[in-house]
Structure 1
Amino acid sequence: MHMAEGKRRLAREDWVAAALDAIADGGVAAVAVEPIAARLGTTKGSFYWHFPNRAALLEAALAQWEERTTTAVIAEIANATEDPADQLRTLIVRVIEAAERDRVGPALLAAAGQPAVARAIDRVTRARIGLIVTVFSRLGFPLAEARSRALLAYSAYLGHAQLAHSTEGVLPDTAEGRRAYLRDVISVLAAQGGPRASDT
């Protein structure tokens, strides 16, 4: 039996991409075989060619999200420049832009009680904070303070992501406003002589 002309065989990556779209649109519960098959215009048979069950599809989708939003970003920042100040600027701009585009991350945080999701969030969070600690350490901050500032930076990132997806008009929406906002973020996070972790 030949496939209809112009219709290609779906690849594993098509199912993963559709699962991520489903998470963005309806949360982790939306990762269900039949609705995603309908979204792709195919049958469950195509799914079982690539995955043994729904759990395997969810794991693959989580791995793809982790690669796209964390592993690739860490590699990009590490290779971007040798100057840690430039790395910090690049990192902040990159993650703020990503926070505004990534609709999967907030949906995953809402489902953090599910074991597979919790494991992915734990890996991503630790990797991201580890990168920020490294950048602050390279800027000359002692390790304890680098970690304290990294936690502050990551908390600010999560807050930014929440605002970007939940409260329209709060974040700056002009190019000039965004530049000023980013300058302020960088200035606060990298300021010398601020409160140290040992002071608290």
Structure 2
Amino acid sequence: MAEKRRRLSRDDWVAAALAALGEGGVGAVAIEPLAARLGATKGSAYWHFANRDELLAAALQRWEHDETDAVIALVSAEPDPALGLRTLLGAALSHPQEKLAVLLAGATDPLVEPVLTRVTVRRIEYLAELFTRLGFAAPVAKHRAALAYSAYLGTGQLWRTMRGTLPADQQAWQSYVDEIWRVLTTPGPPERAPVPDRAQSPRDSG
């Protein structure tokens, strides 16, 4: 007798959609290939979702919760903003190929773009809040937040395309994350006065 097939849950389909999104982009999130991947029928998907777009929306919602809401909640529980930032970097830079699944998969897709925009704005604003708590002035905190997010995106891109440029073992990886943290939290030189516009300098004007 053939083994009875396990009934797939909504979570099973969402997890498969997220995996496909990270591996093949938005186009990979389609009912028929996902059903084949899961060893299920298309009817199993339609039991939980009205259509493919509803499945994709559910996957994006899961990604936003797991990779943003839950991480911010974890970091916010740490009273020391410096340790909170280190925790955040550790969480964000672990398994970067999974963290960046949506960021690199379909930024121009009409379903993905608004979620991606909302998440990116929220993440950078939260980073700026951490740097403000560390004592940086608001403009500098915004710059540090953008720099931190750039390090996150860059690491993920290297992981996908040139993994050999990144540390290979766990100890070296932790040292890499620590170095990013030290660079981001080290105060820069005193703010300098703006350089005069040459077009308005006395020498040029007369």
Number of matched pairs: 194
Identical positions, percent: 48
Of residues 39, 58, 72 in structure 2, which corresponds to 1:41? 39
Shift of 1:54: 0.8
Please name the residue that 2:52 is paired with.
Answer: 54
Please name the residue that 1:112 is paired with.
Answer: 107
TM normalised by structure 1 equals 0.87
Equivalent residues in 2 for 1:95-110 (5 A)? 95-102=92-99, 104-105=101-102, 108-110=103-105
Of residues 140, 155, 164 in structure 1, which corresponds to 2:159? 164
Shift of 1:92: 1.4
Residue deviations 1:50-87 (CA, integer Å, cap 9, x gap): 111111111001111111111111111111x2111111
Residue deviations 1:106-157 (CA, integer Å, cap 9, x gap): xx42421111111111121112112211110110112121111100110111
Of residues 101, 120, 123 in structure 1, which corresponds to 2:118? 123
8 Å CA contact 2:92, 2:99 repeated in 1: no
8 Å CA contact 2:17, 2:56 repeated in 1: yes
Shift of 1:98: 4.1
8 Å CA contact 2:22, 2:98 repeated in 1: no
Which letter does structure 1 place at the counterpart of 2:162? T
Aligned residues: CA RMSD: 2.3
Please name the residue that 2:21 is paired with.
Answer: 23
Question: Structure 1 stretches of 5 or more lacking a match?
Answer: none
Which SS does the other structure have where 2:165 is aligned? coil
Which letter does structure 1 place at the counterpart of 2:117? D
Please name the residue that 2:202 is paired with.
Answer: none
Please name the residue that 2:138 is paired with.
Answer: 143
Q: 1:12 to 1:18 in 2, by over 3 A?
A: same
| More helix, by proportion | 1
Which SS does the other structure have where 1:35 is aligned? helix
Shift of 1:198: 8.9
Which letter does structure 2 place at the counterpart of 1:180? S
8 Å CA contact 1:109, 1:121 repeated in 2: no
TM normalised by structure 2 equals 0.85
Please name the residue that 1:91 is paired with.
Answer: 88
Shift of 1:174: 3.1
Question: Structure 2 stretches of 5 or more lacking a match?
Answer: 196-206
- Flag the structure with larger Rg: 2
